[in-house]
Amino acid sequence: MSACEPLRIGVSGLGRGFMLLLPTLAAHPGIHLVAAADPRAEARARFEADFGGTGYDDFEALCRNPKVEAVYIASPHGLHREQVECAARHGKHVLVEKPMALSLADCQAMIEAMEAAGCWLLVGHSHSFDTPYLRTAAMIRSGEYGRVRMIHALNYTDFLYRPRRTEELDTTRGGGVVYSQAAHQVDIVRLLGGGEVTRVVAQTGQWDPQRPTEGAYSALLTFANGCFATLTYSGYAHFDTDEFNGWSGELGQQRSPAEYGKARATLQSIGSSEEEARLKNRRAYGSGLGLADTSLAGIGHNHFGLVLASCDAADLRPGPTGIDVYGHTEHRLVPLAQPDIPRREVLDEWIAAVRDNVAPIHSGAWGLATMEVCFALLESARTGQVVDLHYQCPVRPEGA
């Protein structure tokens, strides 16, 4: 990690995504929040009070601020391309939230704009930044366990029944679990499997007419190195794979099985889509919430359900407390120390790129390759055909 002065960043979009990363941004010594753009006046006022920075109702005005070196884009999915291109015109480095964009053409245009500007483009946060998966990938690359042959990734959550805006339930506008959740799972599996997926076959599920978008999927991925992987996700709020991780939640928080059914029960008390959108907005930054409402206390490593990588000499299972190694004759745990600043890995990678010119794992090319798999998943489910891929890239070890 660079010992240089903190990276001065501006934020685009002070919504729920920013609220989740906020405690990490505030605690990281290498980050200084200096500006933010959001259409909500209350969010801008809260940002200025919390950080002494400048709030804007216009993204380009933020990019014109000479104090801003880099921009964290946490705006709605459909704005990612135009905002990355705007940041590039003003010479700003970018961390853009997943999903990178809603078409391959948009992803390619974002990469080209940032390359022309001579700036770094990173895509995240996805859970492939999390230490359990980074450590497992390093163990696979070490050769100690032979080649990786097969990967299974399984995650069951209540994703579809959390409060949503209308566009989050419309696939054409980036809604559903494929764009928002497969981007995590595909990233993890690509990291462990070598990066280069060659073929995808998949099915998706849309089983609730009141939530008319993909709520589940299963996919089979084939890699150039011969590895294959299965991915299954359900956001239908029944079984919960946190049960497989000692009830440690996706974001490292301790959960209780007594919360079962809470998401669906909350929705049943809501009378309209407008009321649901207001409920979601109450969980966003600035709508009664600010820095004082966040904490990293008791937060451990993040995870994304059950992941199992089968190698020649062992099966490796990353989890929030360490990596379980199931060898030929013994089972052992490679423990992980509790994080000092949970979720800091994405910021460390961004700072290293901007300050020390270290090529990131999660580059624009990496993000495009992940989205190609997501698009192929939807296409295969729609057509019933196997989809071949053409824009894949291998894993670039951090620092390479």
Would you state the pLDDT for residue 397? 63
pLDDT above 90 (res 150): yes
Task: Kindly tell me if the per-residue pLDDT of 399 is higher than 80.
Answer: no
- The CATH number covering residue 162 comes to 3.30.360.10
Claim to verify: residue 214 and residue 224 sit in the same structural domain:
yes
Contact indicator for 30, 6 with CB cutoff of 8 Å: yes
pLDDT at 246 over 50: yes
Specify whether 335 is located in the same domain as 376. Answer: yes
Residue 315 predicted with pLDDT over 70: yes
252: left (phi over 0), alpha (psi -120 to 50) or beta: left
Return the structure tokens found at 231. Answer: 């991915």
pTM: 0.96
Residue 278: strand, helix, or coil:
helix
DSSP state of 172: G
pLDDT digit string (tens) for 339-357?
A: 999 999 999 999 999 999 9
Cα 208 to chain centroid, rounded: 25
Smallest Cα–Cα separation from 186: which of 267, 143, 127, 117? Answer: 127
Helix, strand, coil tally for the chain in percent (to 5): 40, 20, 40
Residue type for 203, please? Answer: Q
Are 156 and 279 in the same domain?
Answer: yes
Has residue 1 been placed in a domain? Answer: no
Number of domains the chain is built from: 2
CA-CA distance, 68 to 378, in Å (whole number)?
37
**Domain identity same for 22 and 82:** yes
346 in the same domain as 335: no
pLDDT in tens, 162-212: 999 999 999 999 999 999 999 999 999 999 999 999 999 999 999 999 999
Please indicate, yes or no, whether residues 149 and 295 belong to a single structural domain of this protein: yes
Closest CA to 296 of 25, 52, 7, 36: 25
- Do 81 and 162 reside in the same domain of the chain? no
- Rounded mean pLDDT of 98-126? 97
Q: Which domain holds residue 280?
A: 128-340+372-388
Q: For the segment 257-275, what is each residue's pLDDT rounded down to a tens digit?
A: 999 999 999 999 998 999 9
Residue 398 has pLDDT above 80, yes or no: no
Q: What is the average pLDDT across 136-150?
A: 97
Please indicate, yes or no, whether residues 31 and 91 belong to a single structural domain of this protein. yes
The CATH number covering residue 80 comes to 3.40.50.720
Residue 281 binned pLDDT confidence (cut-offs 50, 70, 90): confident
Percentage of residues in the chain with pLDDT exceeding 90? 94
| DSSP characters over 123-168 | E---GGGSHHHHHHHHHHHTSTT--EEEEEEEEE--GGGS---GGG
Q: Tell me the mean pLDDT in the region 271-294.
A: 90
| pLDDT level of residue 12 (50, 70, 90 thresholds) | very high
First to last CA, the chain: 15
Q: How many CB atoms lie within 10 A of CB 112?
A: 13
pLDDT exceeds 50 at position 39: yes
Q: What percent of the chain has pLDDT above 70?
A: 98
Res. 253: pLDDT tops 80 = yes
List pLDDT tens digits, range 54-66: 999 999 999 999 9
Domain membership flag for residue 396 = no
Taking residues 109-117, what's their average pLDDT?
98
Q: Would you say residue 298 lies in a domain?
A: yes
AA letter at 365: A
Angle between the 104-117 and 364-383 helix axes, to the nearest 10 degrees? 170
**Helix 80-89 × helix 104-117 angle, to 10°:** 10
Please list the residues that pair with 36 across neighbouring strands.
11, 55
Res. 2: pLDDT tops 50: no
State mean pLDDT over 271-283. 89
- Cα separation, 137 vs 131, in Å, equals 10
pLDDT over threshold 60, residue 3:
no
DSSP letters along 363-383, please?
BHHHHHHHHHHHHHHHHHHHH
HSE-up of residue 278 (Cα within 13 Å, Cβ side):
6
Find the length of the chain: 400
Pair 16, 135 in one domain: no
Task: Identify how many contiguous H helices and E strands the chain contains and give both numbers.
Answer: 12, 15
What local confidence, expressed as pLDDT, does residue 332 receive? 98
The answer to whether residue 59 sits within a structural domain is: yes
* Residues 349 and 311 placed together within one structural domain of the fold: no
The identity of residue 368, as a single letter, is L
Between CA 180 and CA 176 the distance in angstroms is 7
In a domain, 393, yes or no: no
Contacts of 124 (CB under 8 A, 6+ apart): 95, 97, 98, 346, 349, 362
CB 248, CB 242: distance < 8 Å: yes
Within 13 Å, how many C-alpha atoms sit on residue 69's CB side? 14
Does 314 map to a domain?
Answer: yes
Give the C-alpha separation, 303 to 251, whole Å: 7
Q: Per DSSP, what are the bridge partners of residue 220?
A: 201, 230
Whole-number Å distance between alpha carbons of 160 and 391? 30
pLDDT for res 4: 77
Helix extents (H) in the chain: 16-27, 41-51, 59-64, 80-89, 104-117, 131-141, 177, 183-193, 262-268, 273-281, 344-356, 364-383
Mean pLDDT, all residues of the chain: 96
Q: What are the tokens at 96?
A: 């853009």
Same domain, 85 and 133: no
Q: Is residue 175 domain-shared with residue 253, that is, in the same domain?
A: yes
Q: Is residue 358 included in any domain, yes or no?
A: yes
